[in-house]
Chains A and B, each alone.
Chain A
């Protein structure tokens, strides 16, 4: 039995914000796969007030915005991302990412917003959204603000959510002209039900001459927060794809990573994985973008 004092089922974003104001200390809950597990392990156990986002229709939509971007509601589950037709058509890369998360049951419950807001360095949705230059729509008592996802992560398990503010949706810019290639590599001990020892998402666009027009590389569990590898990206952009280029880019990315040692993996091993994963994901992203070797 969880120690829950009260449970409010909000039906709108505005109601959620009001509830947050009225019940200081109340926690937002959507899928519950992160919060409930933490509550069970927390000690001493003090009663918690919960505000459920599960019934808020406006948070659970996936649609194309007027400007042609992809909007994914904060309470969309990973299973929905895996199977949503719009995502499969416009951004199959995201479905590939979502399929690496937990197992079927967990994907039916866990939400993309919850995953981001947990602020875990290993959050599976973070590298991909970083690499896609996603923006977050955050709504609070003072209104709406848009934040680049790369600004969102402040530290381990810390995100830029202000008082009484909630994440409403994730907006992913869609490239209008050329196909964008993306690939996510989650390196973990198991092929399911695991957290990433290291993860890497690479996204690129190529031009007609197989040059890398734009490159974005992001890492999970490689620093106190999910990070982008800007130096590596800048180096790669405009270059012709080659094996040597991959090696150079991977080395630069490695210099940007700041992993720590834990009993799960050493810093040295994680750094090594950065190099391997960056090369592998960028190569596959290039191929997915239609590049030829």
Chain B
């Protein structure tokens, strides 16, 4: 079916605002009498606050609010941006008497200027009774270890499953391979840090402008944290300068709300870059043990995985991330005998939360590195080995019971093989002579990823479409545009249904007083879930329009279509403009008709996005430095709704993946737990001079479960980049690196220091 707007390169609807500097982010708002909030951060990793004295700070002129654990509600909540009820531990309070990592919140201040607020923080006197700090997750589990959260044994969550008979599978297997993989703590680094403005409005309601991915969920979380009814809270999402999961959490809005209540003034709370990198959220560091039983013919017959995931000082998304890993573990390579065991552990390190692809980059690094290691030992081409084992249409994973209804993975691999001249390069690179200090390598990795959270947690989204009297369409959404382009996609969907052009559509999103309920931007869910709600709401409006047109024109509505802002007959003749139609429907003495519809959608199924990433690299064997020459990303994300925006998502995912592979790592002092590289000089994001060439291709399958055959795309492109690079290094050097990132010094150590 030919679409007019869906699947086309429509320019972003917020493009004009963003290139002119007119787009309003939270920090661009100013309110009369606005104060500046600052948070005092713990300088120790683990301690009880024996004494906290705010006397001197409170006497400082210009200070209007001071919060400590002594004067804030001690409600326990989880900061996780999930639907209610959430089974993650209620281990968090706005401020606690105990601090659990260097950078934990101790107190907060609101003052006339940022400088006064900072001065006030310096005047707060604290006596800590220090407790031993635990930074190693293995240590955390030892019997003698001090408990970071009482009664937990330092376990934030644990789970497991077994399907088939894994022990028998391993016994039967011709070969059994067992390996361990490690991934580091990394940080999202959105260019805009966490920021909010909170104030009490004229009706004594709390209003929060926030840079958030989850406006509705955030409202509920704030309600739980400070004990204010949801009806008394309004969250308004501003333009969001990137989130990548870090803003799928309640990080600072509750404390800011309390500053606003105490001062009765608007308060701007903006994290500094250093603060954001330590005290917002991070990606879980993991240790993953894999065991795989393989037959002589290369078929995998048994797999097991043991995961130790480090969630840091508070659970946040904690064990949910591990659960997500368990689901995809069983999906990509379907195996009759499969076992998964996971523990998520507390340590005195920054809080790990959601980050782009929610555990799957860690999982994927492990399983795709493992696949290449096994292929090497079996003397099989890694692609040949994968082909024998990848999942196919009709497979149902045993964990979530999701049936694969579309799968372009095989095709993606084949295309990548051709584009990269895989066979030729693999053999040439594997037998490079030692003449040059530069060695080339080529590698690949596959992935699978779900399209929403069903059946793990509730999935629902809603949309309201309202057509004005001149065919101007208002689209109300609870979903969140955080840069990925969702508002534009939804405008395209409405345009498609209603036959009006995209510039007729005005998107109003993320205001909990005005917009219908949605869970927000995470799990790459919005085009899949919200997209269906938008389509349904628009379809209801279309029915009204056609019904009205049929009445005015005296013809059957079945013979009419809406296209190019016109009501047309079957032959494509323009009968009446939609603007004229909506005007006549609104202003109608006998039967004025308002055209507005809500719809919601709750998927009771899920789909799987697939892809293959190919990487060509060059290693300088003198220094250990790896340069990525090119990345090919071939994705089956179903029907592509906007190729240009989709390609941009892939580019961004690749850049995050290359950073994950080579350079990004939040480093900490092993004795104090203090983060060492909390700035963009020492935390190595890649610059334009570090990025490889990129080539993006889409295998456009048509998934029957989504509004236009589309599948998830926001997170997936980042998933298999790191293992593809790592596997290319294996090709170049014949060395297995089972830990990320592949910093030059680690490569050097393997090249020169392994006797």
Contact = CB atoms under 8 A, between A and B. Distances in A.
Q: Establish whether A and B are touching in the complex (CB under 8 Å).
A: yes
Interface of A: 1, 3, 44-45, 103, 187, 189-195, 263-266, 268-269, 272-273, 276, 280
B622 interface: yes
A190 B687 contact: yes
A167 B118 CA distance: 35
A276 B114 CA distance: 48
Contacts of A1: 113-115
Centre residue among A3, A268, A272 by max chain B CB count within 10 A: A272
B681 A193 contact: yes
A135 to B, nearest CB: 31
Contact of A103 (B669, B684, B687, B753): B687
Contact of A44 (B122, B623, B677, B684): B122
A265 B625 CA distance: 13
16 contacts: A3-B115, A44-B122, A189-B663, A190-B687, A191-B687, A191-B689, A191-B690, A192-B690, A193-B680, A193-B687, A194-B681, A195-B681, A268-B753, A269-B744, A276-B622, A276-B623
Interface in B643-670: 663, 667, 669
B745 A266 contact: yes
A269 B748 contact: yes
Nearest to A193: B687
Contact of B684 (A190, A263, A266, A268): A190
Given A189-B663, A190-B689, A272 B744 contact: no
Nearest to A262: B676
Interface in B709-755: 743-745, 748-749, 752-753
A187 B676 contact: no
Contacts of B114: 1
The 9 tightest CB contacts between A and B, nearest first, are A191-B689, A276-B622, A192-B687, A269-B745, A192-B689, A189-B684, A263-B676, A190-B690, A191-B690
Nearest to A191: B689
Contacts of A263: 667, 669, 676-677
Contact of A187 (B623, B669, B680, B752): B623
A198 to B, nearest CB: 9
B682 interface: yes
A272 B752 contact: yes
A195 B625 CA distance: 16
B547 interface: no
Interface string B675-694: 01100111010111110000
Contacts of B743: 189
Contacts of B122: 44
Contacts of B667: 263
Contacts of B688: 192
B753 to A, nearest CB: 7
Contacts of B625: 187
Q: How large is the interface on B (under 10, 10 to 19, 20 to 34, 35 or more residues)?
A: 20 to 34
Nearest to B682: A264
Nearest to B684: A189
Interface string B176-200: 0000000000000000000000000
A273 B663 contact: no
A37 B688 CA distance: 23
B689 A189 contact: no
A152 to B, nearest CB: 25
Contacts of B115: 1, 3
Contacts of B744: 189, 269
B663 A190 contact: yes
B745 A265 contact: yes
A165 B426 CA distance: 62
Nearest to A279: B622
B670 to A, nearest CB: 10
A263 B622 CA distance: 21
Nearest to B744: A189
Given A190-B684, A191-B687, 13 more contacts: A45-B118, A187-B623, A190-B663, A190-B689, A190-B690, A191-B690, A192-B687, A193-B681, A194-B684, A195-B681, A266-B745, A269-B749, A280-B622
Interface string B81-120: 0000000000000000000000000000000011100100
Contact of B686 (A190, A264, A280): A190
A188 to B, nearest CB: 9
A254 B663 CA distance: 26
Contacts of B663: 189-190
B623 A273 contact: yes
A86 B680 CA distance: 35
Contacts of A45: 118
A106 B527 CA distance: 41
Contacts of B686: 190
Contacts of B753: 268
Interface in B604-633: 622-623, 625
A1 B745 CA distance: 38
Contacts of B690: 190-192
Nearest to B680: A193
Contacts of B748: 269, 272
Q: Which of A187, A265, A269 counts the most chain B CB atoms within 10 A?
A: A269
A291 B250 CA distance: 64
B80 to A, nearest CB: 31
A106 B464 CA distance: 48
A98 B361 CA distance: 38
Nearest to B113: A1
A190 B669 CA distance: 23
Contacts of B680: 193
Interface in B112-165: 113-115, 118, 122
Contacts of B684: 189-190, 194
A266 B115 CA distance: 39
A263 B687 CA distance: 22
B286 to A, nearest CB: 21
Specify which of B622, B625, B680 lies most central, judged by the most chain A CB atoms within 10 Å of its CB: B622
Nearest to B746: A269
Contacts of B681: 193-195
Nearest to B686: A190
Contacts of B687: 103, 190-193
Contacts of B622: 276, 280
A195 B681 CA distance: 8
A286 B669 CA distance: 43
Nearest to B688: A192
A278 to B, nearest CB: 12
B749 to A, nearest CB: 8
A165 B119 CA distance: 34
Contacts of B689: 190-192
Contacts of A280: 622
Which interface residue of B663, B688, B744 has the most chain A CB atoms within 10 A?
B744
Nearest to A43: B122
A190 B681 CA distance: 10
A1 B753 CA distance: 48
A46 B341 CA distance: 54
B686 to A, nearest CB: 7
A1 to B, nearest CB: 6
B717 to A, nearest CB: 22
A118 B748 CA distance: 31
B680 to A, nearest CB: 8
A204 to B, nearest CB: 21
A192 B505 CA distance: 42
A187 B680 CA distance: 18
Contacts of A268: 753
Contacts of A265: 745
Nearest to A269: B745
Which of B113, B669, B688 neighbours the largest number of chain A CB atoms within 10 Å of its CB?
Answer: B688
A194 B687 CA distance: 10
A199 to B, nearest CB: 13
A276 B438 CA distance: 13
A268 B749 CA distance: 9
Nearest to B667: A263
A263 B683 CA distance: 12
Nearest to A280: B622
Nearest to A265: B745
